[in-house]
Copies of this chain bind each other. A is one copy, B any other.
Amino acid sequence: MDQKLQLWFTELQTDDMALSCRVKKTLHQEETPFQSLAVLDTEQFGRMLVLDNVIQTTVRDEFVYHEMMAHVALNTHALPKKVLVIGGGDGGVVREVVKHRSVEKVVHCEIDGAVIEASRKYLPEISCALDDPRVDIVIDDGIKHVREHKKTYDVIIVDSTDPVGPAEGLFSASFYRSIYEALNEDGLFVAQTESPFFNRDLIPRLYKDISAVFPVTRLFLACVPTYPGGLWTFTMGSKRYDPLEVDIAGIPQMDTKYYSPAVHRSCFVLPPFVEELLVQGGR
């Protein structure tokens, strides 16, 4: 009989569904002032960042989420110079943002400095751009930061955890109004907005709240294997630019594995069961 340790990490993705991954080694475990933080080395996905027992990102599949959070928004804006990233302490979104040559400054506002420290130490492939000279790291509450900065940013990216615990306020109508005010007059923002299979009450509410503030509101999709059900939504609110009107032939070639100019277009094509959520949200 094989005497090797059978060590599994299990995330209860909903009350009734769980994803488990075989663990080679637990690299880090810590209770921060905000959440329970762990870095695991898994057989399937390599190193994995876990917050409050929910998979945030893994070395193998992080490209999907980080590319889609950054490039759809940045390639929709005509000339993004100043970018704010809220959350995303692993640095993956920042790494993608600094690939854009127009970007002069990235303010990375993360509430929990321990996530950044653990990511620097254990996830260098993901956190590698945090030392880029254009990046300013601010350890602060994103809600407070946007309230204190008016007409400051071209693009704001909200890379939050799920809408429970520290990130709850990042899914509120008042936060979207603060975001609007923190953006320049042609600014836009994007947020991860959960699963179209499992969050069918949340998505219509967010879509309605964002539409109430921004003249252009668009939802797009990508498939992240370590998130519940795979299929994931992202919602963009924009003051002027419409991601559907981008001339995709003009998007510069980038080193990406999921995003491409063609995907920039196709990710907005919604199956009817997703479209239905937006109709519920008042479109």
A residues touching B (Cβ–Cβ < 8 Å)? 8, 10, 14-22, 42-45, 61, 63-64, 197, 221, 223-225, 228-231, 256-260, 262-263, 265-266, 269, 271-273
Contact = CB atoms under 8 A, between A and B. Distances in A.
A228 to B, nearest CB: 8
B16 A18 contact: no
Contacts of A64: 271
Copies per assembly? 2
A47 to B, nearest CB: 14
A170 to B, nearest CB: 24
Contacts of A20: 10, 17-20
Most chain B C-beta atoms within 10 Å of own C-beta, residue among A19, A265, A266:
A266
Most chain B C-beta atoms within 10 Å of own C-beta, residue among A19, A223, A260:
A223
Contacts of A22: 15-17
23 contacts: A8-B18, A15-B22, A16-B21, A16-B44, A17-B22, A18-B20, A18-B21, A19-B20, A63-B273, A197-B225, A223-B223, A223-B230, A225-B230, A230-B230, A256-B272, A257-B271, A257-B273, A258-B273, A260-B271, A260-B272, A263-B269, A263-B271, A266-B266
Nearest to A275: B260
A14 B63 CA distance: 21
Most chain B C-beta atoms within 10 Å of own C-beta, residue among A8, A43, A44:
A44
Contacts of A260: 271-272
Given A16-B21, A17-B22, A197-B61, A269 B262 contact: yes
Contact of A257 (B221, B224, B272): B272
